[in-house]
C-alpha cells in the first residue's frame, strides 16, 4: 500500500474510482436500521466505512420514499477518506488521508 501523507484534495478520475468501489447497505445495528457505506480510498487504498452521521437523513428518506429497484433513491453526498490508518501530517481532529469527493449514492431495496 502506498504511504500517502495527509493532504486535503479531490480529483475527478479518483472520485470515479471511489464511486465504483462504493457499496451501500442497510444493516441492523443495535436494534435499528443503519445505512452503511463502504468504499476503498483511491489515494491510500485503505478500506473506509461510514455509518452514523448519514443515518437520520438516509433512514428517514428510505422510510418516506420506499426506494425499490424500479424507483431507486439517488442522493448526492460528499464523503471523505476515514480509513483510521496513520497518515503523516494529519491534524489531530481529522481522519484518513484527506481525500474527499462528491459521490452519488443509489439505493434500491426490496
Binding residues for Zn ion, rule: CB under 5 A, are 41, 43-44, 46, 81, 83, 85, 96-97, 99
Smallest distance from Zn ion to CB 77, Å? 17
What's the closest the beta carbon of residue 75 comes to Zn ion, in angstroms?
22
Which residue, 17 or 61, is less far from Zn ion as judged by CB? 17
Q: Which of 107, 45, 50 shows the shortest CA–CA distance to 80?
A: 50
- The least distance separating Zn ion from the CB of residue 36, rounded to whole angstroms, comes to 18
Can you read off the three cell numbers belonging to residue 102? 462528491
Would you say 17 or 51 has its CB closer to Zn ion?
Answer: 17
Of 65, 101, 87, 62, the closest CA to residue 7 belongs to 87
Residue bearing cell 464511486: 19
Name the residue nearer to Zn ion (CB basis): 47 or 109: 47
- Rounded to whole angstroms, the Cα distance separating 41 from 59 reads 25
Q: E strands within the chain?
A: 23-29, 32-40, 47-50, 73-80, 100-107
Q: Smallest distance, Å, CB 52 to Zn ion?
A: 18
Which residue number, 41 or 103, has a Cβ lying nearer to Zn ion?
41
Amino acid at each position: 500500500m502506498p504511504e500517502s501523507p495527509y493532504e486535503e484534495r479531490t480529483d475527478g478520475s479518483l472520485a470515479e474510482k471511489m464511486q465504483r468501489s462504493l457499496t451501500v447497505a442497510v444493516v441492523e445495528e443495535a436494534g435499528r436500521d443503519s445505512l452503511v457505506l463502504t468504499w476503498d480510498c483511491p489515494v491510500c487504498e485503505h478500506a473506509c466505512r461510514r455509518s452514523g452521521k448519514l443515518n437520520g437523513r438516509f433512514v428517514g428518506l428510505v422510510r418516506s420514499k420506499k426506494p425499490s429497484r424500479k424507483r431507486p433513491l439517488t442522493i448526492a453526498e460528499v464523503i471523505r477518506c476515514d480509513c483510521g490508518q496513520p497518515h503523516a501530517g494529519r491534524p489531530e481532529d481529522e481522519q484518513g488521508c484527506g481525500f474527499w469527493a462528491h459521490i452519488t449514492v443509489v439505493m434500491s431495496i426490496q
